[in-house]
Amino acid sequence: MAAGHAAAEYWEVFDRLRGCWASWGVKPLWLSPLRAGRNQPAHPQQVETAHFCGSLPHAACLPFFDELEDATPSVYGGLGVVHRLEPLRPLDSAGRLEAYHVAETIIVGDQGFCIEAYARIRHDIGQLLSRYVGGEWREAGDLFDPDLRTKEEWIYGSGVRALPIASGNVHGPAYLQRRNLNGESRCFGVGIERLIEAKRRSTRQLDGNARFVASVE
C-alpha cells in the first residue's frame, strides 16, 4: 500500500513504461489475475489458491497464452500481478514479495520478427531502468517453464540481496504449439515494486556514502 508521493513513484515508473509501449506500437492488454482453468503445469513457485475456476499466475504472461488465438506478428503490453513462493524471501522480505505488479510485454510472430523486436525492447528496457538504478542484464537459469529456451534478468545489487528488476524470456515455439499455432513467442516483465525498492536502496546507499565522506573530511 502506498499513497500520495509514495504512490506517485510507482505511477511515474509505470507511465514511463507506457511510453515505451507506445514507441513499440504494442497492442494493449488487460491481463487476468488468474490463469484459465486449474489443469496447468505445476511450478515450485506456484502459490496455492482456493479459486474454483482458475489458478494464481507465477508469471504475468501465462493468462495471455491460456487464451491466445492469433499468432500474427505483434507486440502486446499490459499490467499483471504475479504470485510467488520466493525461496529468498526470509533474507529479503522487502524485495522478494509474494505478489507484485509486472509491466508485461509479449512478442508473438515468426522467428525473424521475434528476434528483432526482442533486441529492441531489451535495449530500451535496459536504458529505462538505468535511469533509476545501476544494473545489467545477466543470464538466468530459473526458467518459469521447463519447455522455454532461455531467460535473462536485469539485476540490481549483488549477493543474496541482488534484486532482479526485469526478465527477458525466450519461449521458442512452446506456448504457441500448445495453442496449435505456428511461430514463436518471447516476453519481458518489469517488476514495478522491485524497481522502486531498488531505487530506494540505491538512494540510501548514496546518502550513506555522502555522510561517510563528510565525516572523513
Q: Is the pLDDT of residue 216 over 50?
A: no
Q: What percent of the chain has pLDDT above 90? A: 72
pLDDT at 208: 56
Task: Determine the Cα–Cα distance for residues 11 and 121; give it in Å rounded to an integer.
Answer: 21
Task: Determine the Cα–Cα distance for residues 119 and 99; give it in Å rounded to an integer.
Answer: 28
Give the burial class of 51: count Cβ atoms within 10 A of its Cβ; 0-12 exposed, 13-18 middle, 19 or more buried: exposed
Q: Is the pLDDT of residue 174 over 90?
A: yes
pLDDT at 202: 87
Assess if CATH 3.30.930.10 describes domain 5-216: yes
Task: Determine the Cα–Cα distance for residues 3 and 88; give it in Å rounded to an integer.
Answer: 27
pLDDT at 19: 97
DSSP3 helix / strand / coil % (the chain, rounded to 5)? 40, 25, 35
Residue with the larger pLDDT of the pair 213 and 49: 49
pLDDT at 213: 44
Q: What is the mean pLDDT of the chain?
A: 90
Greatest Cα pair distance, the chain, in angstroms, is: 67
pLDDT tens for 176-185 read: 999 999 999 9
pLDDT tens for 114-153 read: 999 999 999 999 999 999 999 999 999 877 788 888 999 9
